[in-house]
Amino acid sequence: MQPAGHRLRDVEHHPLLTENDSYDSASSSSSEADATDRVWFIRDGCGMVCAVMTWLLVVYADFVVTFVMLLPSKDFWYSVVNGVIFNCLAVLALSSHLRTMLTDPGAVPRGNATKEHVQSLQLKPGEVLYKCPKCCCIKPERAHHCSICKRCIRKMDHHCPWVNNCVGEKNQRFFVLFTMYIALSSVHALILCGLQFISCVRGQWTECSDFSPPITVILLIFLCLEGLLFFTFTAVMFGTQIHSICNDETEIERLKSEKPTWERRLRWEGMKSVFGGPPSLLWMNPFVGFRFRRLQARPRKGGPEFSV
């Protein structure tokens, strides 16, 4: 924990807003009040390109598995069972990706660092608040400012361009599911590629696929490379996220070697706090809590975020 004097100097260096400040706190409060009725989305060019690439790579893998390996197979049940398993994993992975990308990661309301708001909190004598000078908000404990989202995020783990969003308090669960389902589908695709190569080598290349042998080989090799890269990346991220959850420590806190000033929720308590409730199959369901939201165009002044 930082010494009190240093904490006070931080507050004095970034004083709270006054009534005459240019930030429109009233409009900010009204826009934050109905945030739950809007879809969260970050307008970042790199993130949107990475998100589209993720979807295209998953669609490519599904195309190769379905049309190159399974449909030409003479074993009906082999094709049906593996087709159902792979497509279910792909749907769950993409659904988890969407939930991660379109869920508010835990953004702190902007412009609430006003004297009126602080007085309404009825703080105890000597209690210190931190203010973020970039988004003009009262910074909760364990919150960090994201330069891409332009917001302070509660329990921010990191900003991931592949999901075009921060991974924070409210969407970490979906990010963990996304990495898990991508890793599982990658393993499944690699196994199917191996079986397909064995089948083609033992038989005739012209009979094991509806495509010509050179095209089939190219498609399978590219899928193997994609599967290896995806599995390596997502398996490492999945293990890192589970480790962080079980130790109640975000990646930023670990890299900064921040000493915990909060009561840690270790192992199962940490898992319950992220996934919600006792262990059950609902932990694996990315559709839990999903509801259709009202589409509404809302132009905003500045910042990369927009709502619909």
Q: Of the residues 136, 137, 149, 160, which is catalytic?
A: 160
Is position 135 annotated as part of the catalytic site? Answer: no
Residue 238 structure tokens: 């999945």
Catalytic residues: 160
